[in-house]
Every structure is written in structure tokens, then in C-alpha cells.
Structure 1
Amino acid sequence: MKQSLKLILIALVGLFLLSACTRSASKPPAYDPTFGDDTPLFGSVDDQIRYATSTAAAIIAKYNLPTEIIHNPQGTPIVVTSTPVPTATPTATPTVTPIVPVVPASWEIQKGETLECLARRFDVSLEDLKAANPGLDAWNLKIGQKIDIPQNSKWPGERSTGLWPRPDIWTVGPDETVYLVACAYGDVWPEEIIQLNNIQDPNDLSGYTELQIP
């Protein structure tokens, strides 16, 4: 349908232009600006071009066709052709799979973590955590050191009380890790921050200036 209309429009404009060239050698009749669909060709070449263009535009508007104006070297619009409009492809909204917290039986200390931080994260009592690791120096934890996590314990009260509120945006400082950032919020798991920010190495945040906190 659209291809046929395009051919009709081109033929229509061609006939108008041919007639205009033939009539330009003789004295044109007086120009009457009030013409309609049944008005014969008249006036100057530019008048007839305007009439042809407006007629083509009216047909395209009637059938709701996309349009493109083509100009001749003098800048006068001479034809209107249909141009396909590409269909926009909808962008899929990325989804984040919720992290299901599972309290591990043991944990390996990471850079920036403290015993209180781990007690809050795993929702266990700090005293029970200390009791599960006799002889552990809470003030001298070493990276890579393994500790046992009690399974039948509970942090007293709200784990995030007194810490940073969430959700939040964290400004990354020098030598910080995901584990240190998670400790600032108490009940945030490092895996949540890693997934939300698409972090490849939780111990190297040198390529980040800010982190989204769930």
C-alpha cells in the first residue's frame, strides 16, 4: 500500500513539473492563491511546485506515512517521499536476584572486618561468638584467620542500630574493601554489595568512586 502511494506521489509531482516547464514559455494566467483539490495547474513554476508539494503532503498525512522533504539545488521542495521508521527495541530492565543469607559454620577473616561486625552480619551474639572461639584476640584479628560461627544465637536488638542507614551511596576511600563497607551497615552482606555493583574483586575497589548499598 505504502509503496503504491509512493509511486503515485512521484508520478503526480512529475506531471506537475512537466506541465510547469511546458507552460513557462507562455505568459501564465493570473495567480489565485485560493485553490483546492479540483483547481487546474496555473501560475508560475514555483506556484505549481508548491501546489504539487502540498497535495503530496496531504495524501501522506491522510495515510499517516512517515515523510521526508527532498529539495532541488535551488532549495525549493519538489517532492515528498515516504521513509521507513525503524521500530525501537525495548530495553530489558536488569534484575537483581535477592541474596538469601545463610549463616556459615565458619568464616575466614577479610580485610576491614571486626568481630562485632561479623556478629551483626551473621545475627549472633558477640559474647556467643567469642565463646565459640576461645583464645581469640578480638583486637588482633588477622586476614585469613578462620573462626567458628555459632548456629543457635541471636544478636540482641536491631543489627543496624547506631550504624549507617540504608539504602545508601558509599564513597569509596583508599584501600577499602567490600567487606569493610559491609561492616559499616551491620546487616548488609558483602555478596549483596558485590552483586548490586557488579564487582569482580571484592578486595580491589580501585575502579570505583561510589557503591550502591541495598
Structure 2
Amino acid sequence: MKIKHILLVLVIGLLVIGVSGCRLPASTPPVTTPTEGEGGFPVPGDGTETMGLFETIATQTAAALAEGETGQVTNTPEPPTATMAPAQTQPVVTVPTNTPPPAVVPTAAPIEVPSSYTLQKGEFPYCIARRFDIHPIDLLSANGLSISSTTYPGRELRIPQNAREWPGDTALHDHPATYTVRANDTIYSIACYYGDVDPMAIAAANDISSPYNVTSGQTLQIP
């Protein structure tokens, strides 16, 4: 019984001590003033929240990087711009072409009017009158011929010196020119084809000698 009474007293005493301890005010820790480290950063353990500390450090670090020692913003220089060299123009080379010079056609000399003329193959009185710039009626009258008269090669005609001029242009076709000989052509008939061309001038321009023959398909220079 004594032991039980002793244990009961101890338990009651412990309860009293515990109740008294709970009623005493808790001791207030001393208030410390937070201090700043180098560069204005707060010292860890001064009561600042951990996330706030990290945000402050990040903000101050970014500001320090953006500012130089003088506090001015440093401009990053732009990279140099590459300059393209102007393209070189290739010189244009002109290749000369071997163009043959145009054929030179000799110019016919003025036709001298003879006092008489013998008809050749392919000629007739009207052709002779045109060639010598004589009126055809005057030529026919001087030789006792009419419009319906027939003449042949070898007939000699008298050429009047005081006759009237041919009525109109004595040329039948343009010249100088080239002419391709056809069947039965002679230098005399070709001269009559052009009207005011001397057959001897055609022979001289084409180096044709007596008897002044030409062949079909031959090309002649007409002065």
C-alpha cells in the first residue's frame, strides 16, 4: 500500500509540474537586424524566404550584366556586312564574217549613133530606133520601110542624124542587172530586151569575144 501511495504522489507531482510549465510564456528569441553581404545581397539565414532570395539574386545578376562599370547599357556591335564584289562582264568578241563583196557591174558608156547599122540575129528596126534614141517613124521613112515591112538579119539600115527622139523612155527593163541566157538568145536580142543597151557593151562586160556566142543558162552582167 505504501508503494502505491508513493507512486500516486509522484504521478500527481509530475502532473502539477507539467501544468505549471505550460502556463509559463515562451521565451522570445532576440531580434536580429538582417545584414547585407557584398554587392547588396541579403545574407542567408536572416529570415528571408528562400524563393525570395533566389528571385533577388536573379534580378540583381541580370542588372549587373546589363550595366557596365559606369552604369550605362552596353550596345552589342553588329557583325560586319559582307560586300559582294561586282560581277565581271565578259567582253563581247565579234567574229568577222567573210562576206563576199557585191559584184561590180560596169556602167555602159553613152551609145554613139552611127550613120548606118546592119541588123543581127534577134534585131529589128524598132529595136534599133529605141537603142539610138530615134523616132521609129523617122527610121522607117529613111529606109523606105513601113510598119508592116519585114526585115532580116544582114539588112543594112541608114540612121538619120537629124531624126526626132524616141517618144518616151528608151529603157524597157531596169539595169545594171544580171540576165540568165535562154534558148535562142543572142547578145543582140538581149540588148533589144533591155532597149537602150549596146550589145558590144554586154560582150565587153562578160569578156565575150567574136563571134559573141552565149549558151543557155549562162549568167550575164548587163551594164
TM-score, with normalisation over the residues of structure 1? 0.50
Structure 1 letter corresponding to 2:134:
V
1:49-95 CA distance string (max 9 Å, x none): xxxxxxxxxxxxxxxxxxxxxxxxxxxxxxxxxxxxxxxxxxxxx99
1:71-129 CA distance string (max 9 Å, x none): xxxxxxxxxxxxxxxxxxxxxxx996853421011110000012111101011000100
Give the Cα–Cα distance (whole angstroms) in 2 for the partners of residues 141 and 202 of structure 1. 22
Instruction: Judge conservation of contact 1:197–1:211 (CA < 8 Å) in 2.
Output: yes
Is the aligned partner of 1:211 residue 2:223? no
The two structures, once aligned, show a CA RMSD in angstroms of 2.6
Instruction: Judge conservation of contact 2:127–2:192 (CA < 8 Å) in 1.
Output: yes
Stretches of structure 2 that go unaligned for 5 or more consecutive residues are 1-103
Instruction: Judge conservation of contact 1:176–1:204 (CA < 8 Å) in 2.
Output: no
More strand by share: 1
Structure 2 letter corresponding to 1:204:
N
Structure 2 letter corresponding to 1:168:
A
Relative distance call for 1:138 and 1:208 in structure 2 (3 A) is farther
Match of 1:169 among 169, 178, 183: 178
Identity of aligned residues (%): 39
Is the aligned partner of 1:186 residue 2:195? yes
1:174-197 CA distance string (max 9 Å, x none): 221111000011111112111111
Match of 2:150 among 127, 131, 140: 140
Relative distance call for 1:95 and 1:204 in structure 2 (3 A) is closer
TM-score, with normalisation over the residues of structure 2? 0.48
Relative distance call for 1:186 and 1:138 in structure 2 (3 A) is farther
1:135-181 CA distance string (max 9 Å, x none): 46765211111011111121122111xx2211111110122111100
Structure 2 letter corresponding to 1:158:
D
Q: What are the within-5 Å matches in structure 2 for residues 2-17 of structure 1? A: none
Is the aligned partner of 1:115 residue 2:120? no
Instruction: Judge conservation of contact 1:169–1:210 (CA < 8 Å) in 2.
Output: yes
Instruction: Judge conservation of contact 1:194–1:202 (CA < 8 Å) in 2.
Output: no
Instruction: Judge conservation of contact 1:107–1:148 (CA < 8 Å) in 2.
Output: yes
Instruction: Judge conservation of contact 1:177–1:205 (CA < 8 Å) in 2.
Output: yes
Structure 1 letter corresponding to 2:120:
Q
Give the Cα–Cα distance (whole angstroms) in 2 for the partners of residues 137 and 100 of structure 1. 28
Instruction: Judge conservation of contact 2:125–2:136 (CA < 8 Å) in 1.
Output: yes
Q: How many residues align?
A: 120
**Match for residue 167 of structure 2?**
156
Is the aligned partner of 1:125 residue 2:135? yes
Instruction: Judge conservation of contact 1:172–1:209 (CA < 8 Å) in 2.
Output: yes
Instruction: Judge conservation of contact 2:105–2:222 (CA < 8 Å) in 1.
Output: no
The SS at the match of 1:191 is helix
**Match for residue 201 of structure 1?**
210
Structure 2 letter corresponding to 1:144:
G
The SS at the match of 1:184 is helix
Instruction: Judge conservation of contact 1:177–1:202 (CA < 8 Å) in 2.
Output: no
Stretches of structure 1 that go unaligned for 5 or more consecutive residues are 1-93
Give the Cα–Cα distance (whole angstroms) in 1 for the partners of residues 197 and 148 of structure 2. 21
